[in-house]
Amino acid sequence: MGTGTFVNGQTYKKPRFTGGFDMPLLVVVVSLVVFGLSMLYSSSWDFSLGAYGDAMYMFNRQLTWLGLGLFAALVLAFFDYHNWRRFVVPAMALTIGLLIVVLLMNEIRFGAKRAILGGSVQPSELAKLVSILYLSVWLYAKRQHLHDISLGLIPLGVILGVVGGLIYQQPDLSAAATVLMLGGLLFFLAGGDLKQIGVLLIVATIAAWFVASISATGQQRVGDFLAGIKDPLQASYHVRRSFEAIVNGGWFGVGLGQSQSKLTGLPVPPTDSVFAVVVEELGWFGAVGLIALYGFLVWRGLVIARRAPDMLGTLLATGLVTWIAIEALVNMAVMVGLLPFAGNALPFISAGGSNLVATLAALGIIFNISRQTGEGTISDDEWRSYSAVVNLRWWNGRRGLSRARRTQRANQSAPES
């Protein structure tokens, strides 16, 4: 087993590739892809016919994006994730550039400036993926200094502020919130000081309240959500039509391809509303089955994170699988009226190439982590802290890390004899 060097100059033992993929994860990904294609065709043919004059247009385009996504996943599954340390800075620079281009080009679709190239590419989806990669590498490199607010919380806030602020200007409130949540999670996993995490939560809460207060989009969505909580009949038109589809589906659904709501005014059934179509056609049993697939995917991702050969792998795998979980959870919760309306795609199911390619690329990285074994260079106390996410002994790990840091600071400040 050879050695390599991280960006901070520290060496690590190059992990050994096991050669095989995590088969349970591969099975669930294939299942989600097949399920997604079936539901996409069912939900899109009428919308596609009306919008593009071809019932197969959206389905065929999704197949094209699927091919690109599978190619990206395959390449990244064989690309050593340690090498991302060389590419995260240019990748982040490119992402920020694309987010600026979105604002400058001003292609307005559905009341927002989120896409370029005729609506084919949404840089905000790339921003979510690249933010996880960049923050994982950066936090790993700075893990010994995260207790210092000038080297931990403040730089983190600047990074998240730039990316989240550009996404917010589109406006895409849900994508901006997703980036901020993932940044906070990774900071916690990397061993960030609990006091700083508390400050981060307070600032994020105040910022969310402020944005909801001054943003017309935020005010409307929060207002519709609160009205719908009090009386479902007062919810937004979109959510009311979703309720109608869900009630119509009942326990066992009306049958694949037999949804009526997609023909009678359910807004954008192939994208935001696809979960409502799933429930109407396959019933609550079908919906529970889909949720179980997502749950299994998250479980396998966390298992891979816990078994990762070093903390960088743990941060990457946990951040990426959590991102997929957040996207799915928010989309489904919105359709049943449990969250204010958000534009998060339903991974593998919603039409849209940017999200599909980014999701498959993320899974390619997770597969690469699962294929590696070996020992990292972090201490046992640190490792217990990072594995806390999937280990009930997390508090002991964080206490061990805090003791180690206090001892280190005491030794540094002790006078020389």
Report pLDDT digits (tens) over 104-124.
876 666 555 666 766 567 888
CA distances from 122 to 60, 246, 328, 346 (A): 19, 29, 18, 15
| Res 300: pLDDT | 94
252, 138, 153: which is closest to 198 by C-alpha? Answer: 153
| Res 117: pLDDT | 61
87, 114, 90: which is closest to 101 by C-alpha? Answer: 114
Residue 377 clears pLDDT 50, i.e. is over it? no
Pairwise CA distance, residues 250 & 258, whole Å: 13
The conformation of residue 13, written as its DSSP 8-state character, comes to E
Residue 180 clears pLDDT 60, i.e. is over it? yes
Per DSSP, the three-state class of 404 is helix
- Percent of the chain past pLDDT 70, that is, above it, reads 78
Predicted structure pTM score? 0.81
* Residues whose CB falls within 8 Å of the CB of residue 275, separated by 6 or more in sequence, listed in order: 242, 287, 290, 331, 332, 335, 346, 349
- The token pair at 38 is 């079936």
15-30 per-position pLDDT tens digit: 555 456 789 999 999 9
| Residue 385: band (very low, low, confident or very high) from pLDDT cuts 50, 70, 90 | very low
**224 vs 396, which has greater pLDDT?**
224
Q: Please report, as a single letter, which amino acid is at residue 35.
A: F
Judge whether 163 and 131 are in contact, CB under 8 Å.
Answer: yes
175, 173, 184: which is closest to 209 by C-alpha? Answer: 173
| Residue 394: band (very low, low, confident or very high) from pLDDT cuts 50, 70, 90 | very low
Judge whether 74 and 68 are in contact, CB under 8 Å.
Answer: no
| Residue 309: band (very low, low, confident or very high) from pLDDT cuts 50, 70, 90 | confident
Q: Please report, as a single letter, which amino acid is at residue 229.
A: I
The conformation of residue 416, written as its DSSP 8-state character, comes to P
| Residue 339: band (very low, low, confident or very high) from pLDDT cuts 50, 70, 90 | confident
| Residue 168: band (very low, low, confident or very high) from pLDDT cuts 50, 70, 90 | confident
- The token pair at 37 is 């294609």
Pairwise CA distance, residues 226 & 337, whole Å: 10
Residue 57 clears pLDDT 50, i.e. is over it? yes
Token pair 């959590």 is found at 322
State the average pLDDT for the chain: 80
| Res 389: pLDDT | 39
| Residue 283: band (very low, low, confident or very high) from pLDDT cuts 50, 70, 90 | very high
Region 42-53: mean pLDDT is: 87
Per DSSP, the three-state class of 163 is helix
Residue 12 clears pLDDT 50, i.e. is over it? no
Judge whether 262 and 269 are in contact, CB under 8 Å.
Answer: yes
